[in-house]
A and B are shown apart, each in its own frame.
Chain A
């Protein structure tokens, strides 16, 4: 399974757009990129998944360049409630291997 590298932490202010980049240099052809969010004392929650180019849903966008060696999770207009750990995962099938994650702190 491809290893992922993310920033340890990021700070932002309410209303700003936040972009979290994940590096996955050894991504395999069949691998997809998935992001999960986790609040303290809760289980992770699926945010978005993509294979290439851009994917958008009601909460986030995922940008994947042509070489797929990195990806960027974009959270538009964050609020205090978006303070959480964000995990980037790369793989296929059913096995989830979580990387270290990025702690996002949103301030007022």
Chain B
């Protein structure tokens, strides 16, 4: 099973709402990622979790709060978002133990959650 699932597929929220995005993988991966992708732009890394600990935060505003409850789950809590936060939010996972001899671990991406902030 090489699937990363994300829920919901679509989300519309107001600027005062609190919502959460969920990501799940059952590949035994120990690294999980959140990316943000605006229309016609490449994905931008937001957060990296390694062995359930936050290892990279790409200076993301505090209105985005990641959480990794266990090695299979990754959440992104949203609060007081702005319309410019509307985007496709992608979750990915990778093995997490590094590659013998170097290289970039293959990341497996989910289909994303398309978020619209009104």
Spell out A's residues near B (CB within 8 Å).
Answer: 30, 32, 34, 41-46, 49, 51, 87, 89, 91-101
Query: How many inter-chain contacts with C-beta < 8 Å in the A-B complex?
Result: 67
The answer to whether A95 and B102 touch across the interface, beta carbons within 8 angstroms, is: no
Tell me the nearest residue of chain B to A100, going by C-beta.
B42
Across the interface, name the chain B residue whose C-beta is closest to A93: B104
Q: Is the CB of B109 within 8 A of A92?
A: no
State how many residues of chain B have any CB contact under 8 Å with chain A. Answer: 29
Q: Is the CB of B44 within 8 A of A94?
A: no
Could you list some 11 contacts between A and B, CB below 8 A? Answer: A32-B104, A34-B104, A41-B112, A44-B109, A49-B103, A49-B104, A49-B106, A87-B42, A92-B103, A93-B98, A96-B43
When distances are taken between beta carbons in the complex, the residues of chain A under 8 Å from B103 are 32, 34, 49, 51, 92
- Chain B: minimal CB distance from A69 (Å): 18
- Name B's A-contacting residues (CB within 8 A): 4, 31, 33, 42-45, 48, 50, 56, 88, 90-92, 94, 96, 98, 102-112, 114
5 A-B pairs besides A32-B104, A97-B45 with CB distance below 8 A are A43-B92, A44-B43, A94-B31, A94-B94, A94-B98
Say whether chain B's binding surface is mostly helix, strand, loop, or mixed.
strand
When C-beta atoms are compared, the residue in chain B nearest to A30 turns out to be: B102
Closest A residue to B92 by CB, please name it. A43
Which residues on B sit within 8 Å (CB–CB) of A42? 109, 111-112
CB-contact partner of A98 in B44, B94, B96, under 8 A: B44
* Given A94-B48, A94-B50, A95-B48: A46 and B42 interface contact (C-beta under 8 Å): no
